[in-house]
Amino acid sequence: QLHTEPSAELRDLPREFFAVDPTSVCQTPNTEALYRCRKCRRALFRSSSIVSHAEGSGPTAFAHKRVTDSAQLRGDGRDKCTSYFTEPVQWMEPALLGVMEGQLLCPKCTSKLGSFSWRGEQCSCGRWVTPAFQIHKSRVDEVRTLPVGNFQTAQT
């Protein structure tokens, strides 16, 4: 019942709680990376919205799932975190209000980007992140602006 009943605290979150939607700010040259939906290219969040976490103990943190192969437990040097954990962004608001957990869908094409849980979720590196607004790295593209020559931005 706790999982299905809308929570009164989650119905009315203050506007300041949400990071600014990157599509609503003017496009100025920025050193920040922008993350877009891989399917429709809609801007979703900036690198400043990513919540960093200390790396967990990897597959050994999932012992309750009976990972027994010692080769799996050692790790192979690949990037252990397969998701970005972000602060909530304005486009997420309709999905977040009144529920404790659910899917995060692209606001333009509705493809699944990840999930959220106010109770938290475990990262693939083994670290528990609370609250969790998890976007899978395989569902987004990172876009960085590169400086071109000695051009200066026009000031108006």
pTM comes to: 0.69
List of residues 6+ apart from 115 with CB closer than 8 A: 101, 102, 103, 104, 121, 132, 134
pLDDT at 45: 94
pLDDT at 134: 97
The answer to whether residues 40 and 111 touch, using CB atoms and an 8 Å cutoff, is yes
The answer to whether residues 125 and 62 touch, using CB atoms and an 8 Å cutoff, is no
The answer to whether residues 142 and 37 touch, using CB atoms and an 8 Å cutoff, is no
Q: Is the peptide bond before 131 cis (omega within 30 degrees of 0)?
A: yes
Q: Put residue 120 in one of left, alpha, beta given phi > 0 → left and psi -120 to 50 → alpha.
A: left
- Interatomic CA distance for residues 66 and 60, integer angstroms: 9
CATH 2.170.150 fits 8-52+78-144, yes or no: yes
Please report, in tens digits, the pLDDT of each residue of the chain (156 residues total): 444 444 445 555 555 656 677 776 555 556 789 999 999 999 999 999 999 998 877 666 556 555 555 445 445 545 689 999 999 999 998 888 889 999 999 999 999 999 999 999 999 998 999 999 999 999 999 998 776 665 544 443
